[in-house]
Amino acid sequence: MSLLKSRTPRAREKRIDTLNAWLGAAESTLHQFSGKEPEQRIRAFSQSAQDDLICALRLLGGVRNSVTIVHAPRGCAAASLWRHLQTGGGRWVVTNLDQRDTIMGADRKLRQAVTSAYRRYRPEVLFIVAGPVAAINNDDIQAVVDELRDELGVPIVPVFTSGFASRSAVSGYDIALHAIMKHLVGSGGEIARNEAVNLLSGAEGVADRLEAVRLLASLGIELNVLPDAAGVENFRQAAGARLSFSLDQDADNYLGIVLEEEYDVTAIEQPRPVGLRATGRWLLAAGEALGIESAARALHERESERVRRELGDFTLEGRRVYLALSPSTAFAVAELIEELGGELAGLSVSHLGRLQTAQLESLSSRHPALQIHVADGQPFEELNIVRRIAPDLYIGDGAHLGQLSRLGVPVVSLENSSLLGYEGALSVARRISAALKNRAFTEALAVAGTPYREGWLKRSPNWHIKKEVK
Amino acid sequence: MSEKKGKHIAIYGKGGIGKSTTTSNISAVLAESGYRVIQVGCDPKSDSTTILRGGNDLPTVLDTLREQSKVKLEDISAVGFGGVLCIEAGGPVPGVGCAGRGINAAVELLQDLKVFEEYKPDFVLYDVLGDVVCGGFAVPIRDGIAERAFVVTSSDFMAVFAANNLFKAINKYAPSGGARLGGVIANSIQAPHSRPLIDDFARQAGVPVIGYVPRSMTVAQSELYGKTVIEALPGSEQADVYRNLAKYIDESHDSVIPKALNGPELKKWARSWGDRIFEAETGVVQNMESI
C-alpha cells in the first residue's frame, strides 16, 4: 500500500511511539521503549508548547519560490512570523477566518486568497495549510485545490494540519513533507533516475547546511539539497536520486521513509554530524555507500587534524553540562561534550521516540542514572531541574535562555549558530569558551532571581507529569 | 485505503425515517449471501446496529476514546447477525462538543486501526444521520471514503427536504473525489401518493429509485425482538424486499451526480403535491389524472 495514499501520515506518537512528557533516569527511559508501546504521560499543568501547525509552517516557509496560505483565523498565522524573524524569508497570506466563515464554510475566501497570492507573487507552488477551524468544520479545501490547480496551472498543495490532532508538534514536519511528496511528485508514475545524492536538511541553519555541502561536495558528490531552500524541481529530482543522507534523523526521517518506500531511494540515517567523531562516522557512512570510503577517510583525517590544532588545549574537563535541545541534536551534542572532556549533567529533549532508541541505548550504557526530561516548552520544569542539578554550563536552543540565565548558570544558545561538521565543532567550542569566561551578565541576572515562587520550586520537577489513568 | 478495500457505501436519511432498519437489513442480506460486512453507525444516537446485535450493548468509538487512550478494534466492535462487524461512532454528551468532528475522529480511528485492511470486508455500510449535512456528517461521502451513497426517504416533506440537502452535498464533493449517488430508497410506503411523490422527486433530481419498502408490521415486530427481518422472518415478503435492495447494491455499479432543487423550486414542487393530494382526497380529477 502506498504511503502517500492517505491524506496525512500517522501522528508521531502512533507511528513511532513518541513521548512528550517524561522525567527519569536514562536506563528507565530506555526501558519505556523495550515493550510493545511506552506508557504515555500527560501534564496536569502545562506552559505553552508548539503544535503541528507551527512545525509545518516552519518547514514550508523554507520552500523556495512558494507562498503559504494559512487557512485559519488571523492569530494562527503568527507562527509564520518565526521564519521572518529568523531568516527574513517565507511569503505567507492568512485567510483570516471569522465567525461567519466558521459557520458557512470559507471556500470562497480561500479561493480568493489563493488567486490573489498567485497573481501577486507568481510562485512555483502554493501551499494551503489548514488550521484548527478548517479541521473542525471540514472546510472543503480539496475542491478549491482541484479547481484552481487547473485554472492557474500551478501546483497547489493542501497540508492538513489541525493544531490538536497530535500531541507531538513534530508531526507537522511529517504532514508537510507528506503533502509535498504526494502532490508535487505523486506515486505510480515513471521516475527519471539521476546521479544526485539527496541531502535531507529541514531543520538546519544556513551555516550548518553549507558545512555539510562543503564536505560532501569536496568528495565530488553531486548534491540535491531539500526540503529547506529547495524548489519544486528538487523534490521531483529527489525521487530519482541515488541515495539520501539526512542531517537530522528526527526532522527529516519521514522524507527519507517516503523516498525509500515510494521511490526506492535508499535512506542512510546516521546520527547528526556533531563533533569530530560523529562527523567522521557520518562522512564514512557516505563514503561507504558511494564507494569512496578512502577519500572520505582522508578528508576526515585532514579536517579533524585542523580542528584539533585550532582547539588547542581547550577542554571541558571538570565541567558539568546540561543540554536542552531537540532529541537528535541533544544526543549528538552529548557526545561532543564528552569528546571535549566534559561531563553530562542531564538532558531535556522536546520529544523522544523510537528514532532515538539506539542513541538512548548508547547513552544509557554509559550513564544509566543520567536524568532525561522530555518536554516541549515547559520552562518551569526545566528551570526546576537545572536549579537542583546546578550544572557549570547550560546549552539550549534559545527558547528558555532568558529564564535559565536567571539561575546564574552560563548559557550557550545553539539557535542560529553553527553546530554541524568540523566548523560547527570549532564554533561551539568558541561559544562555550566565551560563555564560561564572560559570566558577569548571568551573575547579574541571577540577582533578580527566577520568575517562580519558592513554593513552586520546592515541588519535584515531575510534579505535573502524571500517568494517564484512562 | 487498503488494496482489498471492499465496497464502501454510505446510507443517508432524515432521523427516524428508517435508515438504520433498512441498512441493517441490507447488511444482514449481504452477510447471508456470504459477504464479509462491516456496518458503521455514524449517528450520535448510536442505535444503528442494535437489531443486528440482538439489542445488546456496544460501547461507541467516541465513548471508548473518552475512557481510554488506546483503543483496540475489539473494544469498539461486536459481531452481529451473519458475522456483520458492528461499529457505532457515537457522539459527545448531548448539548456539548461537536458531533460532526466526532464522526471525523471515529472514521480516522478506524483507518488508524487498519480495520479495513485487517478485516478485509466485501462491504462497508455507513449509516449516517442525514438531518444536518454539516462538514463532519459529510465525512463518509468526502475524501473518497465511500464511493456511493444511497438516500432513504419517505414521502414526508421533511424527509424529502433532508434528501435534497444530501444531493447538494454530493454535488459539492463528487467532483473532487467524493461519493456519487447510487439512488433513492423509498421507505414507509403506505399512502397511495407515497410512491408517485418519491418517483416525481427522484425524476426532478435525475436519480433512480432503487426500491420501495412498504410500511409493514413485520418490521416493527422483528425490531421488538431486537432482530432484522432477515433474521426474524426470513421467509416474509418484507425480507424479499430487502433482498432485492441488497441485490441491487451488490450488482449495480451505476451512480449519478444528482441535481438538487433550490429553495423556491423545492417549495413550488411541494406545493404542487399538496394540491394534488388535496384534490385526490376531495375527489377532483383533472385531465383524467390519477395518483
Hey, where are the domains in chain A? 50-185, 197-303, 315-467
pLDDT reading at B2 higher than 60: no
User: Which CATH architecture group holds A197-303?
Assistant: 3-Layer(aba) Sandwich (3.40)
Cell numbers of B227, please?
432482530
Q: Shortest Cα distance from A9 to chain B (angstroms)?
A: 10
Question: How buried is residue A27: exposed, middle or buried, by Cβ count under 10 Å (0-12/13-18/19+)?
Answer: middle
- Compute the C-alpha angle B90/B95/B97, nearest 5°: 65
Decide if B120 is catalytic: no
C-alpha span between A99 and A105 (Å, rounded)? 10
Decide if B131 is catalytic: yes
- Compute the C-alpha angle A158/B44/B119, nearest 5°: 70
Q: Please check whether residue B273 is in contact with residue B227, taking contact to mean a CB–CB distance below 8 angstroms.
A: no
State how far the alpha carbon of A169 is from the alpha carbons of A75, A223, A403, in Å: 18, 29, 22
Q: Shortest Cα distance from B100 to chain A (angstroms)?
A: 8
C-alpha span between A465 and B70 (Å, rounded)? 19
C-alpha span between B278 and A48 (Å, rounded)? 66
pLDDT band at B181 (very low <50, low <70, confident <90, very high): very high
A315-467 adopts what CATH topology? Rossmann fold (3.40.50)
Half-sphere exposure at residue A302, Cβ-oriented, CA atoms within 13 angstroms: 10
- Which one-letter DSSP state was computed for residue A356? G
C-alpha span between A260 and A165 (Å, rounded)? 26
pLDDT band at B44 (very low <50, low <70, confident <90, very high): confident
Which residues fall within 8 angstroms of residue B150, CB to CB, at 6 or more apart?
Answer: B9, B10, B11, B12, B181, B182, B183, B184, B185, B210, B249
pLDDT for B1 equals: 39
Output the 3-class SS for B189-238: ECCCCHHHHHHHHHHHHCCCEEEEEECCHHHHHHHHCCCCHHHHCCCCHH
Tens of pLDDT, residue by residue over A267-288, are 998 999 999 999 999 999 999 9
Half-sphere exposure at residue B245, Cβ-oriented, CA atoms within 13 angstroms: 31
Residue contact A105–B135, C-beta within 8 A: yes
Tens of pLDDT, residue by residue over A93-123, are 999 999 889 888 898 999 999 999 999 999 9
pLDDT for B289 equals: 57
Active-site annotation holder among B7, B63, B131, B227: B131
Cell numbers of A8, please?
496525512
- Higher pLDDT, residue B101 or A268: A268
- What is the SS3 assignment for A469? coil
B 165-184 residues with CB < 8 A to A: 172-173, 175-177
Cell numbers of B51, please?
437489531
Q: Please check whether residue A377 is in contact with residue A396, taking contact to mean a CB–CB distance below 8 angstroms.
A: no
pLDDT reading at B277 higher than 70: yes
User: Which CATH architecture group holds B7-259?
Assistant: 3-Layer(aba) Sandwich (3.40)
Tens of pLDDT, residue by residue over B211-221, are 999 999 999 99
pLDDT for A446 equals: 93
B179 phi and psi angles, rounded to 5 deg:
-70, 155
**Of the candidate ranges A254-258, B23-27, B134-138, B153-157, the one whose mean pLDDT is the lowest:** B134-138
Tens of pLDDT, residue by residue over A391-441, are 999 999 988 888 999 999 999 999 888 999 999 999 999 999 999 999 999
Give the other-Cβ count within 10 Å of A353's Cβ: 22
C-alpha span between B172 and A347 (Å, rounded)? 52
Instruction: Tell me the average pLDDT of chain B.
Output: 89
Rg (CA), chain A: 23
Cα-to-chain-centroid distance, residue A325:
10
Cell numbers of A233, please?
524541481
A50-185 adopts what CATH topology? Rossmann fold (3.40.50)
* Average confidence (pLDDT) over B49-68: 87
Which residues fall within 8 angstroms of residue A194, CB to CB, at 6 or more apart?
Answer: A224, A237, A240, A241, A242
Chain A residues close to B104, C-beta within 8 Å: 138
Q: Shortest Cα distance from B4 to chain A (angstroms)?
A: 10
Cell numbers of B272, please?
404542487
Distant-in-sequence contacts of A285-288, Cβ < 8 A, 24+ apart: A285/A245, A286/A197, A286/A216, A286/A219, A286/A221, A286/A245, A287/A219
C-alpha span between B258 and B174 (Å, rounded)? 10
C-alpha span between A179 and B290 (Å, rounded)? 59
Q: Find the closest chain A residue to B111 by CA distance.
A: A6
- Which one-letter DSSP state was computed for residue B175? G
Chain A residues bordering chain B (beta-carbon distance below 8 Å): 1, 5-7, 10, 14, 37, 40, 105, 136-140, 142-143, 145-146, 165, 468, 470
pLDDT for B3 equals: 44
Chain A residues close to B168, C-beta within 8 Å: none
C-alpha span between A327 and A321 (Å, rounded)? 16
Residue contact B136–A6, C-beta within 8 A: no
Q: Please check whether residue A393 is in contact with residue A322, taking contact to mean a CB–CB distance below 8 angstroms.
A: yes
> Nearest Cα to B223, choosing from B84, B53, B60, B86?
B53
Tens of pLDDT, residue by residue over A170-201, are 999 999 999 999 999 987 678 889 999 999 99
Residue that the C-alpha cell 501522528 belongs to: A11
Q: Please check whether residue B78 is in contact with residue B56, taking contact to mean a CB–CB distance below 8 angstroms.
A: yes
End-to-end alpha carbon distance in chain A: 33
The ipTM estimated for the assembled molecules is 0.71
Please list the alpha-helical segments (H only) found in A153-231: 171-180, 206-218
For A165-200, letters b (16+ CB in 10 Å) and e give: bbbbbbbbbbbbbbbbbbbbbebeeebeeeebbbbb
Q: Please check whether residue B84 is in contact with residue B121, taking contact to mean a CB–CB distance below 8 angstroms.
A: no
In chain A, which stretches have pLDDT less than 50? none
C-alpha span between A72 and A96 (Å, rounded)? 6
Chain B residues close to A469, C-beta within 8 Å: none
Residue that the C-alpha cell 561534550 belongs to: A337
Is the minimum CB–CB distance between B139 and chain A shorter than 8 Å? yes
Q: Please check whether residue A275 is in contact with residue A425, taking contact to mean a CB–CB distance below 8 angstroms.
A: yes
Cell numbers of B103, please?
464522526
Decide if B19 is catalytic: yes
pLDDT band at B56 (very low <50, low <70, confident <90, very high): confident
Q: Please check whether residue B167 is in contact with residue B138, taking contact to mean a CB–CB distance below 8 angstroms.
A: no
Cα-to-chain-centroid distance, residue A348:
15
Decide if B227 is catalytic: no
Torsion sign across C-alpha atoms A211, A215, A217, A221: negative
A67 phi and psi angles, rounded to 5 deg:
-130, 135
B 52-111 residues with CB < 8 A to A: 67-70, 98, 100-101, 104, 108, 111
Residue contact A470–B143, C-beta within 8 A: no
pLDDT for B176 equals: 80
pLDDT for A84 equals: 63
Question: Which of A142, A146, A161 has the most B C-beta neighbours within 10 Å, making it the best mutation to test the interface with B?
Answer: A142
Residue contact A37–B70, C-beta within 8 A: yes
Which residues fall within 8 angstroms of residue A301, CB to CB, at 6 or more apart?
Answer: none
C-alpha span between B149 and B11 (Å, rounded)? 6
Q: Shortest Cα distance from B139 to chain A (angstroms)?
A: 8
Closest residue to A7, CB basis, from B67, B143, B173: B143
